[in-house]
Amino acid sequence: MTAWKQLSLSFLLLVAGIAAVVAFVPGATGLLQKAGVPETLVAAITRNGDASAGKSGDAAGGGARRGQNIPLVVTEPVVSGIVNDRLSAIGTGDAIRSVAVMPQAAGTIREILIKSGDRVRQGQVLARLDDDEQIIARGQAEVALKSAAEKAQLYHTIKSSVSRMDVFDAEIAEQGAKLALQSAELALSRRNIVAPIDGIVGIVPVVIGDNVTTTSNIVTLDDRSEILVDYWVPERFANTVKVGQPVEATSVALPGRVFSGVVEAVDNRVDGASRTLRVRGRIDNPSDELRAGMSFNVGMRFSGESYPSVDPLAVQWDGAGAHVWRVVDGKSSKVRVSIVQRNPDAVLVRGDLRNGDLIVIEGLQRVTEGGEVRFARDVAEAKEIVIQ
């Protein structure tokens, strides 16, 4: 082998060795320069290595950047929501029967037999008026009746001696005396003021000695065995509320308590000014905890209408209106919707959506029509695999 061939082979082996050192030994560049290897040779070998490494790195980096360009999104499935399924209204309670007791005759109150809070029965005497004049009138009527009855009896005994007309007049006089006695007894009974219903006595506004007339309010009686609650509902419930439907009511005076009842009556027309319908509920009050005049929060439930329900974050707007992004087979598409009802945690919409459809709620800024998307949960799973 000639000398120049040996020299060429040695040079090639030297270059190969330097390249191997540069590739596999950290900090080899500095060591080679200290060993006297020409700096230009080391730089040339280093550039060639970086170029080849760069080509493979660009291929891997391009794939990574291509994956990073696909939007990362969070989705949530569509569920069914119910609209107009519950009604809440404020109402005022009243006793099922309430009567302002007034005397049937004028006079001076002589006796009061009740006090506030008493429970009374129908026909019980509540107060009495002065009745001296009526007692005298009754006595006179009794005397007149006795006289007429004896005269009629006498004429029947001696009717052969008197005319038939006299006998007839005596009978008529007796009947008139009986009616006069009944009238006197009625006037006397009206000096007693009695309870027209079973109920509980309110505050008595009169005292003994007061002069009263037939328009004077002696006392108010409330039958609170049941409470009637009047409330007003929006016009859209006019054909939904029916007599007999269940009602739930709560009162500020009794927090935490729920009282059950039914719809007692529904008005026959909608108020033209407020566009509301008057409804009356009846609530049982066996323990007498509720009072007339209380305010109630009345609630009713209905079957309602079903609509797709989505997260409020999913609803987006553009020049054509509201829309959501649906993901099918890893690709996004825009679905036009109209808002039916907004709630704090969900929005009921009308649109081409079905239960279980995946709707984008996060990462909406980069989503496009027909574009690919990545699911956040897939990235999280990939990270867990890498960490493990």
CATH number at residue 356: 2.40.420.20
User: Given pLDDT bands bounded at 50, 70 and 90, which one contains residue 2?
Assistant: low
Read off the pLDDT of residues 65-122 as tens digits, 9 standing for 90 and up.
455 678 888 999 999 887 767 888 999 999 999 999 999 999 999 999 999 999 999 9
Q: Is the pLDDT of residue 306 over 90?
A: no
pLDDT tens column, 191-234: 999 999 999 999 999 999 999 999 999 999 999 999 999 999 98
| pLDDT for position 295 | 93
Q: In total, how many domains does the chain have?
A: 4
Identify whether residues 280 and 326 lie together within a single domain: no
Indicate if 63 and 76 belong to the same structural domain: no
Return the higher-pLDDT residue of 159 and 191: 191
| One domain for residues 280 and 317 | no
**Is the same domain home to 344 and 313?**
yes
In a domain, 40, yes or no: yes
Provide the whole-model pTM. 0.56
CATH of the domain at 258: 2.40.30.170
Classify residue 370 as left (phi > 0), alpha (psi -120 to 50) or beta: left
Whether residue 98 is contained in a domain is answered as: no
Cβ burial 306-339 (10 Å sphere, 16+ → b, else e): ebbbbbeebbeeeeeebbbbbbeeeebebbebee
Domain contains 110:
yes
Q: Which domain holds residue 143?
A: 103-212
Q: Is 353 among the domain residues? A: yes
Query: Which of 281, 304, 327 is at the close of a domain?
Result: 304
